Amino acid sequence: MPLLDGPRNRDGANGVDYLEVSSPSHGNNIGLDVRSNGEGRQRIVVVGLGMVAISFIEKIIKQDTERRKYDIVVIGEEPHVAYNRVGLSSFFEHRKIEDLYLNPTEWYGSVKDRSFDYHLNTRVTNIYPERKTVRTSTDDLISYDILVLATGSDAVLPTQTPGHDAKGVFVYRTISDLERLIEYAAHHKGGTAATVGGGLLGLEAAKAMTDLQDFGNVKLIDRNKWVLARQLDGDAGSLVTRKIRELGLDVMHEKRVARVKTDDDNNVAGIVFEDGDEIDCCCICFAIGVRSRDELGVSAGIQCARRGGFVINGSLQTSIPGIYAIGECASWDNQTFGIIAPGIEMAEVLSFNLTNPDKGPKSFTRPDLSTKLKLLGVDVASFGDFFADRDGPKFLPGQRPSIATDGHPAGNDREEPPVKALTYKDPFGGVYKKYLFTLDGKYLLGGMMIGDTKDYLKLNQMVKSQKPLDLPPSQFILGAQRDGEENADDLDDDTQICSCHNVTKGDVVANVKNGNCKSIGEVKSCTKAGTGCGGCMPLVQSIFNKTMLDMGQEVSNNLCAHIPYSRADLYNVIAIKRLRTFTDVMQSVGKNPDSLGCELCKPVIASILASLFNQNIMDKGLHELQETNDRFLANIQRNGTFSVVPRVPGGEITADKLIAIGQVAKKHNLYCKITGAQRIDMFGAKKQDLLDIWTSLVDAGMESGHAYAKSLRTIKSCVGSSWCRFGIGDSVGLAIRLENRYKSIRAPHKLKGAVSGCVRECAEAQNKDFGLISTEKGYNIYVGGNGGAKPRHSDLLAKDVPPEKVVSVIDRYLIFYIRTADKLQRTARWIENLPGGIDYLREVVLDDKLGIGADMEQQMEELVGSYFCEWTETVRDPKRRKFFQQFANTDETVETVEAVKERDQERPTYWPKESATEDFKGYQWSQLSWQPMVKAEHFSDGPPAISSANVKRGDTQLAVFKVKGKYYATQQMCPHKRAFVLSDGLIGDDDAGKYWVSCPYHKRNFELNGEQAGRCSNDESMNIATFPVEEREDGWIYVKLPPVEELDSVLGTERWKVRKGEAPDPFEKYDKKYKGIRGKKIGDKVHQGENALSLQPKSIDW
């Protein structure tokens, strides 16, 4: 609630809060004097609403909860609440200001007792220290007991440079700067843009201009010899320059801008440099530094530093008692700090001193200027005294301060600094590390890292602790190459893990232990860790998990809200109790025996039932549990069609089968591609054509390749001793035998295998879930490897295994994996999480430590003995044909994505990035009437009492669901990717009786019933239309719909069909640059428009 007299209103034009008050007289007559609220509380007025200001406010509110000593008024100059300026570049990705807010707007009104008031779009114009009052741009006067200046800084614009005021010149500081830049760029597509400044801000600005994708070229202009000259030495800065040039950014060093070229209308036309060189460009963004906002100090008599900033002492007080300054506007020891961490530290010191008068006051000391960032995709870090070898150390641990240098560069007449540097350079991996030690190697002073920054936190803490090292310096380089994040166990509680908000490991641990934080989301809300740049989140998650385990509180890995068991535990329950249906499972172990389950537990239960009993997943009661791929025995693609992959065991295929595949593809106009697993994938199969496609393939002697299932995909092979002169074993023969044995078995995740005929490893067996390499004595068996997003080299399970014993080893390995793995856990992660890892697995599989080896072999024998081809069974059953129709009420077919002909084949055009964000749920139809849409006999009445249909009316597609005897209808299109697929989604429910359908593409969950029907529960940016439904005595399902023309105008397929040109061509620039070059002889010239590309040989500039 507002603390000032007069009601708060909302300006309809721009949504800015303002106050209705009578304007005070000018001069010294203070017309409005609002003091403490009469309850003995003092008022703190904060000028500025940036990251440091909001940090101070949060800390005051939190620390003043019991005393209730202060009311807070904050005055912000921008029209937005506090936002994450560190993450400003992300605005170009989402263009949503709200996504940058550090707190939701609701937070600002949630503080009780009228203790917090905020004003936006308001600037403080004067400070009257003698009356403890400030005047605002709205001519209001606000009194204070304590004034905190957090005015931040402005981006520097070189006003002495001719042309600095031209149209197309920008700075990079605020959201409004970015919005103006975005608007300008949209009208100058294809032009050249330039960023001036090679520091942290300059690289961020260059990335932002590149991400806009409007400019044809972006140049980075830097006056130094290398980028990030304030953080890095020449070697490190040059490496960063090389890396960002590889990303396509044109970097120009040792260039100073003399003037900005303009045309007759004062538009930017280029840059002239002091050395006489020139470039043409249409846009310039200056990112050459910031200047403290200290202009309020002049009239108020507050002392300001010569180089800018309000002069403060250790308690953050300015030259006038009761007035404090924090953040970039504050000058401490004649220094201002342009990064957030010192400002957060200032906020912490000041808030502590104001709320703890009975404790010894804290004092602001020299801040840690260490930084760890990802700039233009390059990991960069500098920590501690990172220029101690150049400027001399600021302080030497264990010695008198006088021994340290004065911080000036060491010249020829000065002694070398008492520092030794340990340097590591990897030009191939793009890694550079330099660590600085005292001469005796006992103390780490600082350093810098490029490319590999995983040890940053630990090393920075070592510098801060000033403790003698217990390892020789060399081990800090040699031992630094580790996969993944550092182990949280290695860190002390006072280690800062979030530099944006000065959060230590101990802060996270304490809040978890005292019960304040029971989830990772609560940790972020409570401590602010991870809410700045977000780079600390993996470590924060690790600390949270470890602390919960230390407290004896398991970090839940339950399947979902319906099943209070892990996947492994659920498997054992189903196996022991011999539960064969979803209903049996829910009644036995579900929290609610009558629950429908959800998109998380249904596929897992379906997979476990298949792993144990291998029933036909198309059977009633199982079909409704399957994900869309399994439901239709094919992989759903972007345009609602499917891909079909017949099995090619071991990669061996006959000419007749190749011809059959070609005939099928040609008949149905399918796009063909060779997969990485030595198979042929046919894309673009319509749902209604799948049965005909499978029939043709089955008649040609082929089977389902299970590319749609979490099961064995393929066993890749080289030709081995069948043909290769180096082959030791028959890799093709073994691969085919193994693939035919294990085909179709369902597992927690997909399985891939390989067999190589010799150590040359052409089949890449060592990055598969299981792989075999032929030796003179048999086969080496490797397990737990995978490629993908997190590659893992496999582990050797057994050596020199004879061919006749290979099967028993793999049988045991696979069954043990199926029994014990977590949901959607690949074998690589499973082995990593096993107690004892690969050693334990050897004991179980090879030594039969648990005494279950024979049982696992028997289980596998029963499972593979029950094999049947799912395609063959389906085409033989005419009752299942109804599952493979596009619409339940017509034989029509409709395309939902335009096709593009490319390289003599057709593919769907690219999806646009934007979703359909219309308010379908809230659309007001002119009228509604009941329309018969589909016969009731289409829907199932048996357990699990869920069935669905896609129906067509006019040009609109609708999804109709029958759930526990009741009907629900929605639009068929999921707005996320404009995909017409909702009728194929899984249905879920909760204890309150709410139903939802989960889109089979990207799991957007849309509510089917209740007051919020149509709402997307996990993405508030979208919703869907819903319609009343009823079954009538005539055997038809009726849906209450608007007139056809109106319905089509809102939901029609033609309106939402994805068309060519909606998304940019990702290769447009590539093709424009290189088209017509290949195949030309040296010396020829390829003419492209007015430009000619010379192909004369040139030397390579390394």
pLDDT tens across 177-188, in order? 999 999 999 999
Token pair, residue 995, equals 């139903």
Token pair, residue 335, equals 């220094």
Asked whether the beta carbons of 886 and 894 are under 8 A apart, the reply is yes
pLDDT per residue as tens digits for the range 11-24: 333 333 333 332 33
| pTM, to two decimals | 0.55
> pLDDT value at position 213?
85
Cα separation, 343 vs 846, whole angstroms: 59
DSSP 751-783: EEEEEESSTT-TT-GGGSSEEEEE-SSSEEEEE
> pLDDT value at position 1098?
39
User: Is the pLDDT score of 519 beyond 80?
Assistant: no
CATH for 157-288 (3.50.50.60, 1.10.238.10, 2.60.40.3470, 3.30.70.660):
3.50.50.60
* Sequence-ordered list of residues with C-beta below 8 angstroms from that of 132, at least 6 positions apart, any chain: 143, 144, 145, 147, 322
Token pair, residue 425, equals 């350079």
pLDDT per residue as tens digits for the range 596-641: 888 889 999 999 999 999 999 888 888 888 888 888 999 999 888 9
User: Is the pLDDT score of 414 beyond 80?
Assistant: no
Element (H, E) at 135: strand 133-136
User: Is the pLDDT score of 256 beyond 90?
Assistant: yes
User: Is the pLDDT score of 28 beyond 90?
Assistant: no
Asked whether the beta carbons of 791 and 767 are under 8 A apart, the reply is yes
Kindly indicate the confidence band of residue 8, based on its pLDDT and cuts at 50, 70 and 90.
very low
Residue 454 half-sphere exposure, CB side, CA atoms within 13 Å?
16
User: Is the pLDDT score of 37 beyond 90?
Assistant: no
Rg (CA), the chain: 34
Q: Is 1068 helix (H, G, I), strand (E, B) or coil?
A: helix
Domains in the chain: boundaries: 8-154+293-355, 157-288, 368-496, 631-704+870-884, 712-868, 909-1056, 1067-1102
**Mean pLDDT score of the chain:** 87
> pLDDT value at position 14?
33
Q: What is the DSSP letter of 274?
A: T
User: Is the pLDDT score of 1 beyond 80?
Assistant: no
- Strand partners of residue 134: 127, 142
User: Is the pLDDT score of 1102 beyond 50?
Assistant: no
Q: What is the mean pLDDT of residues 502-521?
A: 84
Instruction: State the fold for domain 8-154+293-355.
Output: FAD/NAD(P)-binding domain (3.50.50)
Cα separation, 502 vs 495, whole angstroms: 10
Q: What is the mean pLDDT of residues 361-376?
A: 87
Q: What is the mean pLDDT of residues 131-140?
A: 94
User: Residue 944, preceding bond cis, omega within 30 degrees?
Assistant: yes
> pLDDT value at position 1078?
60
pLDDT per residue as tens digits for the range 181-208: 999 999 999 999 999 999 988 998 998 8
Cα separation, 1063 vs 899, whole angstroms: 13
Instruction: State the fold for domain 909-1056.
Output: Rieske Iron-sulfur Protein (2.102.10)
Candidate from 25-39, 310-324, 759-773, 1008-1022 with smallest mean pLDDT: 25-39
Query: What is the second-level CATH architecture of the domain 368-496?
Result: 2-Layer Sandwich (3.30)
Cα separation, 657 vs 669, whole angstroms: 18
pLDDT per residue as tens digits for the range 948-976: 999 999 999 999 999 988 999 999 999 99
* Sequence-ordered list of residues with C-beta below 8 angstroms from that of 299, at least 6 positions apart, any chain: 126, 127
Candidate from 24-33, 71-80, 150-159, 1019-1028 with smallest mean pLDDT: 24-33
Cα separation, 924 vs 912, whole angstroms: 27
Candidate from 237-246, 714-723, 867-876, 943-952 with smallest mean pLDDT: 943-952
> pLDDT value at position 262?
95
Cα separation, 3 vs 25, whole angstroms: 21
Token pair, residue 727, equals 């082959």
More confident position, 879 or 302: 302
Instruction: State the fold for domain 631-704+870-884.
Output: Sulfite Reductase Hemoprotein; domain 2 (3.90.480)
Which among 20, 21, 117, 14 is positioned nearest to 75, based on CA atoms?
117
> pLDDT value at position 405?
46
> pLDDT value at position 88?
83
pLDDT per residue as tens digits for the range 648-690: 999 999 999 999 999 999 999 999 999 988 999 999 999 999 9
Cα separation, 904 vs 384, whole angstroms: 59
Q: The domain 712-868: what is its CATH number?
A: 3.30.413.10
User: Is the pLDDT score of 1042 beyond 70?
Assistant: yes
Cα separation, 715 vs 165, whole angstroms: 66
> pLDDT value at position 294?
95
Cα separation, 141 vs 135, whole angstroms: 5
Q: What percent of the chain has pLDDT above 70?
A: 89
Q: Is 490 helix (H, G, I), strand (E, B) or coil?
A: helix
Kindly indicate the confidence band of residue 1077, based on its pLDDT and cuts at 50, 70 and 90.
low
- First and final C-alpha spacing in the chain: 64
How many residues in total does the chain contain? 1102
User: Is the pLDDT score of 53 beyond 60?
Assistant: yes
Token pair, residue 592, equals 């609610």
Do the first three CATH levels of 8-154+293-355 and 909-1056 match, i.e. the same topology? no
Task: Give the number of other CB atoms < 10 A from CB of residue 27.
Answer: 6
Which residue type occupies 824? L
> pLDDT value at position 479?
56
Cα separation, 871 vs 706, whole angstroms: 10
pLDDT per residue as tens digits for the range 90-124: 887 788 889 899 999 989 988 777 689 999 999 99
Asked whether the beta carbons of 1073 and 1088 are under 8 A apart, the reply is no
Asked whether the beta carbons of 238 and 246 are under 8 A apart, the reply is no
Kindly indicate the confidence band of residue 57, based on its pLDDT and cuts at 50, 70 and 90.
very high
pLDDT per residue as tens digits for the range 140-180: 999 999 999 999 999 999 999 999 999 999 999 899 999 99
Which among 994, 988, 1002, 997 is positioned nearest to 598, based on CA atoms?
988
Q: What percent of the chain has pLDDT above 90?
A: 62
